[in-house]
Amino acid sequence: MKARVRIVVLDGYALNPGDNPWDPISTLGELSVHDRTPEAEVVKHAASAEVVLTNKTPLSQRCIEALDKLTFVSVLATGFDMVDIKTARARGIPVSNVPEYGTESVAQFVFALLLELASGVGEHNRAARDGRWAASGDFSVTVQPLVELAGKTMGIVGFGRIGRRVGEIAHGFGMRVLALDPLRRQPPSYHPFAWADRAEDLFQHSDVVSLNSSLNASNTRFVDRRLLRSAKPSAFLINAARGGLVNEADLADALNEGRLAGAALDVVSQEPIRRENPLLTAKHCLLTPHIAWASLEARRRLMATTAANIRAFLDGAPQNVVN
């Protein structure tokens, strides 16, 4: 009888904090789940594994070379920059990801962030509860400017699945859509829509900029002081993609100096966020702890596709391979 494959999850807590059982994967082999794995303990935790699953725990060259039983890696996410792809390829180890699971949840969250910037529901709730409304003597009290989105321009950096869904929702709000993407796939059918030729053009003409691109060597910290000078002082910046797209010190300066009306970010360059991150004290800056992807519906899709990735590998036909 053939031995069951040994599967180790290095950091499973975010995917399953208790409401998203591992059953689809546990039926495929002998499963061990670690809620979290410090980088120094990766080799220890995965020493016996033939299949390793990781979300954000790095699989470096050193780790991959030390794991002599490793035959397959499946990333519990779309991004796979935490895996040394070159080393895995050299060892003949396929690495798979989950290319589509959170489109609806992330696009929805982009607008949750935008609507909080534009309408300040949370802050106005606090004003009603902490006595400011009662003390005002007026039937209506605003504690921040209210912004109507209809007629404004939504600039979208990265027009893949999530970016296109953000554009559809923006169109539903009556916004114009301006997109920047090097591939320029088939444009959407709705109007008004246009392509931007440069990031500077997109920032100059947008009332809202939503970052929805992957992170690579060419766009790391591309949202910097120079680019932010192109933005309207009334504009909002939304980042629910990758923290490394933004030079955080430059963004904090732009917010504190009034060169940008507000920003809302679900991701930062180092996670969990460091106490010294300048965005924590920046004016008009909303921060959430990397949760746009984390609806139960999205996490169930992620679990199901990861199980399918493992099953395909065991059947000799790996899918969603990135290397």
| Residue 251 and residue 209 in contact, taking contact as beta carbons nearer than 8 Å | no
Instruction: Tell me, yes or no, if 290 is annotated catalytic.
Output: yes
Task: Determine the Cα–Cα distance for residues 21 and 93; give it in Å rounded to an integer.
Answer: 27
Please pick, among 132, 271, 274, 297, the residue that the annotation labels catalytic: 271
CA-atom Rg of the chain in angstroms: 22
Instruction: Tell me, yes or no, if 271 is annotated catalytic.
Output: yes
* Cα within 13 Å of Cα(279), Cβ side: 24
CA distances from 309 to 32, 88, 107, 262 (A): 17, 17, 25, 40
Q: What DSSP letter does each residue of 4-27 carry, written as one string?
A: PPEEEESS-TTT-SSSS-SHHHHT
Please pick, among 164, 242, 299, 301, the residue that the annotation labels catalytic: 242
Q: Which of 176, 213, 178, 175 is nearest to 195 (CA)?
A: 178
Proportion of the chain in helix, strand, coil states, percent, rounded to 5: 35, 15, 50
Tokens of 287: 């921060």
| Residue 275 and residue 281 in contact, taking contact as beta carbons nearer than 8 Å | no
CA distances from 218 to 214, 226, 296, 318 (A): 11, 16, 33, 29
Please pick, among 45, 164, 171, 290, the residue that the annotation labels catalytic: 290
Task: Determine the Cα–Cα distance for residues 12 and 155; give it in Å rounded to an integer.
Answer: 35
H helices present in the chain, as ranges? 23-26, 42-46, 61-66, 85-90, 103-119, 121-129, 132-136, 161-172, 199-205, 225-228, 248-256, 296-314
| Residue 182 and residue 214 in contact, taking contact as beta carbons nearer than 8 Å | no
Q: Which of 318, 303, 306, 305 is nearest to 94 (CA)?
A: 318
Which residues are part of the catalytic machinery? 242, 271, 290
